[in-house]
Chains A and B, each alone.
Chain A
Amino acid sequence: MSSTSMPETGTPSETTLRTRGRGFPVKALVIVVYLVFLLLPIYWLLTMALKTNQEILSTFNLFPDNPTLANFTVILTDPAWYMGYVNSTIYVVLNTLISVTVALPAAYAFSRYRFMGDKHLFFWLLTNRMAPPAVFALPFFQLYSSIGLFDTSLAVALAHCLFNVPLAVWILEGFMGGVPREIDETAYIDGYSFPRFFTRIFMPLIAPGIGVAAFFCFMFSWVELLLARTLTSVDAKPISATMTRTVSASGLDWGVLAAAGILTIIPGALVIYFVRNYIAKGFALGRV
C-alpha cells in the first residue's frame, strides 16, 4: 500500500487517506506538466514536418490542415539527405564497436587489479571525457588531414573515441564492481584461461553493462555535431551537418528541416526502449 506513494505524517490510516486524497494528484500533476513541457516542442516539430512550407509561413494553427508526407519524401529520395543518415550510422556503429572492444579489458583491469599508475591513468581518461570538443576541433582537422583520413567515417569514429572510450571504461568498471571477485578466482582454479574465462563467463555476467555502455557510446556519438562536422566535407558528411548547412544556405525550407529532425529522433527513441531499465544506472556510470 505504501509503495504507490511516499508516506506522510500521521498514523498509517491517516497517511493512506491523505496520500490518496491530496498528495497523489499533486505529484501526478507535476509529472504531467513536466512531460507536457518536454513533449510540446517535439510535437511542434512533428506538426511542422507534416505541413507544407506555405502553410507554415502563411497560417498559424495547432494542427496541420492537410497532413502531408511530402517533406519526408524529399529526404528519403534525395541522396544528399539520406546519405547523411547512412554516414552517421556508419561512424556511430564503428565508434561503438571500437569503444566497447577496447574498454572491456581495460575496465576489467581497473576493477580487479592495482597496478603502477592506475589512479593517474584513470584520472587522465576522465579528463578526456571532460575535454571540450571545441579545443580539439582544429588539431583533429590537421591530424586527420595529415594521415589522409579526412572526410572518412573512420576519422569521425576515432575522434569520438576521445569521449566515448573513457565513458565506456567508466560504465563497465561500475558494472564489473558488482560482480564478486570470488567468481574470477573459482574460474581460474577450475582451469579457465583468462581469455576463455572473460568471454565465456565474465562477459555474460555483465551483459547488461555491455548493453548500457554500447547504448551510451551510440548515443553520444549520434548527438555530437562539432567534431563530426569539422572532420568531414562531402563523402562522409553526417546528417547533423547536412541540416546546419541547409539552414545557413537557404534558411527557408522549414518543413524539410523539421522532417529531418523527426527522423533523427527515431533511432534514439527505439534504442532507449530496449535499455529503459538501465538508463539511470548507465548515466550514473554504473554507480547507483
Chain B
Amino acid sequence: MEKPLNNKAWFLVLPVFVLVAFSALLPLMTVVNYAFQDTFGNNQFFWAGTDWFEKLLHSDRFGEALIRQVLFSGLILAIEVPLGIAVALCMPRKGLWVPVCLVLMALPLLIPWNVVGTIWQIFGRVDIGLLGHVLYSLGIDYNYTQDPLSAWITVVVMDVWHWTSLVALLCYAGLQSIPDAFYQAARIDGASRWSVFRHIQLPKMDRVLLIAVLLRFMDSFMIYTEPFVVTGGGPGNSTTFLSIDLVKLAIGQFDLGPAAAMSLIYFLIILLMSWVFYTVMTKQDEQDQNRKTGGGE
C-alpha cells in the first residue's frame, strides 16, 4: 500500500526541523564563515578564499591524521564484525542465560566514553594496571605512554572491548527472527554447518549487519573521547585521529580558519558515507516492502 501524499505532515515535522536547524544549521554556517575568512583578532575578518583548503590539503599533518583515521576504522571493522558475528552465533537462543548475557554484554555500551578511557588507562598501566603489569611480568615490552605500537594496540583493543557487543547484539536480534522450522528443514536436507550459516543465518542478518557495519564505521571515524583520555593523541602524534587533531586546532590553538576548513572536509567525508548508507538502507526497505506486499496479495 502506498503512503498517502499529505503536505500537512510538514506541521508534524516542524518542531524537529526548527530544533535541528538551530543546533545544526546555525553552527554549520559559522564554520563555513570561518573557513573562507582570516582574522587578526578584534572581530575583524578578511576574505581568504580557498586558501585554508589548499593549505590543508597539502599539509602533511592533515594527511597523516586522515591515514591514521582510515587505518583505525578499517582495523576496527575487520576485528569487530567477524568477532561480533561469532559471539552472536554462540549465544544461547533460549533460557535463563539469555537475559544475563544480554545485560552483561550491553554494559560497556552504557559506560560514559571518558570512563571507558579511564578504565583502560588504569587497566593498561605498567605500574598499577592488571593488563600492563601482567604483560610486563611476562617480559613483553609494553608501555602505551611511550611506545606507539603499544598505544595503538591499547586503543584498538579498547574499542573492540567497547563496541563489539553492539555488533553481537544486532546480529543476535537478526538470528532470533529465524523460525525453528528453518533449522529443521535444513537438518532434513542434511545441510552442513556452513551452508546453514551461509543460506539461513547470514541472509537474516544482512540488514542488521549493514546497520552495524555503517554505525561502527561512522562512530569509529569520529572517535574522540576514548583515545583522548588514554593517550591524549600520543606518544608524539601516533594516535592523533581526525577529531583529536581538529579539537587541538580549534580549541587548543584557536586557529579558526584552518580548523573550520578541516571541519568542512571532515564533514564532507562523513556526508558522503551517510549518503551511501542512506541509499543502501532505503533501497532495502523498498525491496522488503515489495516482498511483503507481493507475498500478501
Contact = CB atoms under 8 A, between A and B. Distances in A.
B72 to A, nearest CB: 14
A271 B115 CA distance: 18
A109 B115 contact: no
Given A105-B12, A123-B278, A132-B270, A284 B211 contact: yes
A37 to B, nearest CB: 7
B13 A110 contact: yes
A148 interface: no
Classify chain A: how many residues form its interface, as a range: 35 or more
> Which secondary structure dominates where chain B touches chain A?
helix
Contacts of A271: 110
A132 B131 CA distance: 31
Interface string B154-189: 000000010011100110111011001001101100
A261 B94 CA distance: 33
Given A60-B133, A102-B15, A226-B224, A135 B267 contact: yes
Given A2-B184, A165-B20, A57 B127 contact: yes
Q: Which of A31, A122, A134 has the most CB of B within 10 A?
A: A134
Contact of B27 (A38, A40, A139, A261): A139
Given A130-B218, A131-B24, A137-B247, A103 B128 contact: no
B271 interface: yes
Contacts of A223: 110-113
Interface stretch (A72-80, A154-162, A201-209): A154-162
Contacts of B224: 132-134, 226
B174 A138 contact: no
A136 B170 CA distance: 29
B12 A42 contact: no
A244 B186 CA distance: 54
B193 interface: yes
B260 to A, nearest CB: 8
B274 interface: yes
Binding site secondary structure of chain A: helix
Given A225-B114, A287-B211, A138 B251 contact: yes
Interface string A19-36: 000000011101100110
Listed residue (A9, A62, A277) with the most chain B CB atoms within 10 angstroms of its CB: A9
B123 interface: yes
Nearest to B285: A287
Interface in B204-248: 207-208, 211, 215, 218, 221-222, 224-225, 229, 242-244, 246-247
B169 A38 contact: no
Contact of B19 (A98, A127, A230): A98
Given A45-B122, A57-B128, A130-B218, A219 B108 contact: no
Given A38-B105, A126-B278, A284-B173, 16 more contacts: A3-B94, A6-B183, A9-B192, A12-B187, A28-B90, A31-B87, A41-B161, A105-B15, A114-B4, A114-B6, A115-B6, A139-B30, A143-B27, A261-B111, A265-B110, A283-B166
Top 4 A-B pairs, shortest CB-CB distance: A268-B110, A280-B173, A139-B27, A132-B222
25 contacts: A4-B93, A7-B184, A27-B89, A41-B131, A42-B107, A42-B108, A45-B123, A62-B130, A103-B16, A105-B13, A105-B15, A106-B12, A109-B9, A133-B222, A136-B24, A137-B251, A141-B251, A142-B30, A239-B112, A240-B113, A240-B114, A279-B102, A284-B208, A287-B207, A288-B174
Interface of A: 2-10, 12, 15, 26-28, 30-31, 34-35, 37-42, 44-45, 48, 56-57, 60, 62, 98, 101-103, 105-106, 108-110, 112-116, 118-119, 121-128, 130-143, 158-159, 161-162, 165-166, 169, 181, 219, 222-226, 230, 239-240, 243-244, 247, 254, 257-258, 261, 264-265, 268-269, 271-273, 276-277, 279-281, 283-285, 287-288
